[in-house]
Structure 1
Amino acid sequence: MKIAVLGAGNMGLSFSKSFLKYELIKPEHLQLIVRNPSNISKISEDFPKSRISVFDEIKELDADLIIIAVKPQDFQRIAQNIPFPLKENQMILSIMAGINIEKIQTSLNHPLVVRAMPNSPTLLGMGITGYTAANGISFSQLINIERLLNSTGRSVYLENEALLDGVTALSGSGPAYFYYIIDAMIKAGIEMGIEENLSKLFVQQTMLGAYHLINNSEKSLEELIKDVASKGGTTEAALKTFEENNFKEILKQGILNAEKRAKELNR
């Protein structure tokens, strides 16, 4: 398989590294496409055997799969100025937030589109990606796409494309929610007199341990919370403050607003 990545930014490059790491493609069969020529030298250091091209200079694209990894706000402008024709058998894999399959098909005048929503832990091969496909994509083509996506972590096929906006809000944006909470916890530690690096260590290891407990316990989240929050204790005092300030509702509303924004991007 030959793959071209249109938009060689963080996500596009992390996908590319995973493909090469697991030997799903040969380095010489990978083409990375950038808009800014000044980015070429840095990318060349990490991908010495792959082709790196400037978008405006491409007249023909020799690829079985074209991954569109540009910002959704830039897609319409790029779609209108693609300097190369799309071939009938070329597959499109979009990892843009919000832009639905129909809009991609219409903008590119091309039917073979798979839409996926990854998240930033793909950088470590620990991401999760929801994906769906247009009518006309064969089972074997979908399996090939799934193999590529699984190299970045885990993937889940969704028959209902509308759910991808929810996936965008939940897991696509999700890492930032955890970072936000972790940052607040670290700052609370500092305010209590704990040195910053030590506060960071306590919070990060607590997060890691809690993750493994969730994965290895048959208890529900409510039960796990009760295991920590004894009656009249310190945890209960914190949880009471969260409840009084509607923290859970605020967090939920923020995620719903992220989904709303994903839908707006398509319009």
Structure 2
Amino acid sequence: MKIAILGAGNMGLSFSKSFLKYELIKPEHLHLIIRSQEKITKIAEEFPKSKISTFQEVKEIDADLIIIAVKPQDFQTVAQNIQFTFKENQMILSIMAGINIEKIQKLLNHPLVVRAMPNSPTLLGMGITGYTAANGISFSQLINIERLLNSTGRSVYLENEELLDGVTALSGSGPAYFYYIIDAMIKAGIEMGIEENLSKLFVKQTMLGAYHLINNSEKNLEELIKDVASKGGTTEAALKTFEENSFKEILKQGILNAEKRAKELNN
């Protein structure tokens, strides 16, 4: 399989590294297409055997799959300015937030579109990606896409495309929510007199341990919380403060606003 990535930013490059790491494609079958001439030298050092071009240089793409990895806000401009046409059998895989299949088909004048929403842990091969496909994509083509996506972590096929905006809000943006909460916990540790590096260690290891408990316990989340929060204890004092300040509701509302913004990006 030959792959071209249009917009080789962080996500595009992390996909490229995963495909090469698991030998899903040969380096010489990878074509990275970037906006800035200035970045070519640096990217060429990371991908010495792959083809690297700027948007302006590309008049034709020799690839089975073209991954659209530009910012959603830039997509319309990019679509209007590309100087190549898609061949009949080429597939498009979009990893842009918010832009639906119909709009991609219309702006690129091409029917074979798969839309996916990865998240940043794909950088470590520990991401999760929701994806869906246009009519006309065959089962064997979907299997090939799934194989590529699974090299970056896990993938989940969704029949209903509208759910991808929710996936964008939940897992696409999700890592930032955890970073935000972790940052608050670390700062609380520092305020209590714990040295910063130690505070980071305590919080990160606590997060890791909690993750493994969720994964390995048959108890639900409420039961796990009760296991830690003994009556009249320190955990109960913290949770009471969270409840009094509607922390859970604020977090939920933030995620719903992220979904709303994903829908707005399509307009």
Same fold (TM over 0.5): yes
Q: List gaps (5 residues or longer) in structure 1.
A: none
Q: 2:160 matched to 1:160?
A: yes
What whole-Å deviation, never above 9, does each CA across 1:15-49 have from its counterpart, x for those lacking one? 00000000000000000000100000111111111
Matches of 2:238 and 2:97, distance apart in 1: 35
TM-score normalised to structure 2 length? 1.00
What whole-Å deviation, never above 9, does each CA across 1:228-267 have from its counterpart, x for those lacking one? 0000000000000000000000000000000000000001
Q: 2:184 matched to 1:187?
A: no
What whole-Å deviation, never above 9, does each CA across 1:68-125 have from its counterpart, x for those lacking one? 0000000000000111111011000000000000000000010000000000000000
- Classify the secondary structure of the residue corresponding to 1:266: coil
Q: Indicate the residue corresponding to 1:118 in structure 2.
A: 118
Q: Indicate the residue corresponding to 1:247 in structure 2.
A: 247
Matches of 1:216 and 1:48, distance apart in 2: 42
Matches of 1:72 and 1:24, distance apart in 2: 27
Q: CA deviation at 1:155?
A: 0.1
Q: Indicate the residue corresponding to 2:199 in structure 1.
A: 199
Matches of 2:227 and 2:48, distance apart in 1: 52
- Classify the secondary structure of the residue corresponding to 2:32: strand
Matches of 1:253 and 1:85, distance apart in 2: 42
Q: Indicate the residue corresponding to 1:87 in structure 2.
A: 87
Q: How does 1:13-52 map to 2 (within 5 A)?
A: 13-52=13-52
TM-score normalised to structure 1 length? 1.00
Matches of 1:91 and 1:16, distance apart in 2: 17
Structure 1 segments of 4+ aligned residues over 4 angstroms from their partners: none
Amino acid at match of 1:127: G
Amino acid at match of 2:15: F
Q: Indicate the residue corresponding to 1:215 in structure 2.
A: 215
Matches of 1:160 and 1:223, distance apart in 2: 32
Identity between Structure 1 and Structure 2 (%): 90
Q: List gaps (5 residues or longer) in structure 2.
A: none
Q: CA deviation at 1:200?
A: 0.3
Amino acid at match of 1:27: P
Amino acid at match of 1:68: I
Q: Indicate the residue corresponding to 1:175 in structure 2.
A: 175
- Classify the secondary structure of the residue corresponding to 2:265: helix
Matches of 1:109 and 1:46, distance apart in 2: 33
Matches of 1:198 and 1:42, distance apart in 2: 35
Amino acid at match of 2:244: E
Q: Indicate the residue corresponding to 2:62 in structure 1.
A: 62
Amino acid at match of 1:178: F
Matches of 1:232 and 1:217, distance apart in 2: 25
What RMSD over aligned residues (CA atoms) do the two structures have, in Å? 0.3
Amino acid at match of 1:71: K
What whole-Å deviation, never above 9, does each CA across 1:117-170 have from its counterpart, x for those lacking one? 000000000000000000000000000000000000000000000000000000
Matches of 2:184 and 2:3, distance apart in 1: 41
Q: Indicate the residue corresponding to 1:237 in structure 2.
A: 237
